[in-house]
Structure 1
Amino acid sequence: MRITVVEGDITSQDVDAVVNAANRGMRGGSGVDGAIHAAGAPEVLEDCRRRFPHGLATGDAGWTTAGRMAARWVIHVVGPNRHAGETDRSLLTSCYRRALEVADELGARSVAFPLVSAGVYGWSREESVDAALEVFRSADTADTGVDEARFVAFGRSAHELVRSRVESPGGPG
């Protein structure tokens, strides 16, 4: 699997699937979640209501249509909220692992990822990138059908941080 890094808006990525850093209720929110629901239009929310009437557990993932975005699917992951006491790193790595598993179920070859739980959920960008790289570079994901895992960093400083960690020879994973 090739790991790439781009600076930009995850909602405009021309990939098979975009990953949404969702909340447990799966009804939209702020940050990446709000942007994806806005760009996908009502179709994303309607599909969330239909597929996930009770939401999802922290660390889990599921998919919906991408609505009006260029991608075909949205893979929703519920990241851990450090501020709410969810400090178990395995919940964060589970988001990336489950996203790849769902991508495989869908047959998605290219997947755009945000920095899950970085931001309002209190995990640092470094922790989020390192958790993703641990999963992307592990032997467990050697059999994935995903050809490209694309980090989409919003803003220059985030892009530089992600790029430097991905390119670091001694980095995680």
Structure 2
Amino acid sequence: MLVKLGLCQLELVQGDITKQQADAIVNAANGELAGGGGVDGAIHKAAGPGILQETARLFPAGCPTGSAVVTSAGQLSARWIFHAVGPVWQGGRNGEPEQLASACRSCLFHAKELGCSSIAFPALSTGAFGYP
């Protein structure tokens, strides 16, 4: 599905995010940036072990919920990986919607700063983080 929003286009795609052609791919990261399962595991596997080393070197304290940090994309065709940390769902009364929006805004901010014309987002905070 393709939707035009002003000068932007939004395309909804179902598939392997590591295969998407985009300047940046958003990783559904955990706060420790330690890799994991789901989208995080798939991106780390496809990008190669250098990404885990890069995040550990550049961001030893990890990344707070509602934020995102940038690394190279390793062996992916993208130029960048934006490691976004969304909230763990706790019923929606602990700021989860605001934290999720903040993580997405952080990715868009990085995309603008880096001159990206395309960005691939997964469904952040779903799966293990339980966001409905």
Q: TM-score, normalised by structure 2?
A: 0.89
3-state SS of paired residue (2:63)? coil
- Within a 5 Å distance, the mapping from 1:1-173 to structure 2 comes to 1-83=8-90, 87-88=94-95, 89-124=97-132
Could you give the per-residue CA deviations for residues 98-146 of structure 1, whole angstroms, max 9, x where no partner exists?
100011111111000000001111111xxxxxxxxxxxxxxxxxxxxxx
Structure 2 portions without partners, runs of 5+? 1-7
State the number of aligned residues: 124
Higher helix fraction: Structure 1 or Structure 2? 1
Whether the aligned pair in 2 keeps the contact of 1:16 and 1:110 (CA below 8 Å) is yes
TM-score by length of 1: 0.68
Tell me how large the CA RMSD over aligned residues is: 1.6
Aligned residues of 1:81 and 1:87 also touching (Cα < 8 A): no
AA of the residue aligned to 2:50: E
Q: Residue 102 and residue 86 in structure 1: after superposition, are their counterparts in 2 closer, same or farther (change >3 A)?
A: farther
Q: Is the 8 A contact 1:43 1:66 kept in 2?
A: no
User: 81-90 or 7-16, which moves further after superposition?
Assistant: 81-90
Is the 1:82–1:121 contact (alpha carbons within 8 Å) kept by the matching residues of 2?
yes
How far does residue 69 in structure 1 lie from its aligned partner after superposition? 0.7
Moved beyond 6 Å, runs of 4+:
none
What CA distance in whole angstroms lies between the structure 2 residues aligned with 1:31 and 1:84?
Answer: 22
Deviation of 1:67 after TM superposition, in Å, equals 0.4
Per mean C-alpha deviation after superposition, the further-off stretch among 13-22 and 82-91 is 82-91
- Paired with 1:103 and 1:43, the residues of 2 have a C-alpha distance of 22
Residues 85 and 18 (structure 1), Cα distance of their counterparts in 2 relative to 1, 3 Å cut: same
Gap runs ≥5 in structure 1: 125-173
Quick one: percent identity of the two aligned structures?
A: 47
Q: Output the CA distance in 1 between the equivalents of 2:62 and 2:80.
A: 17
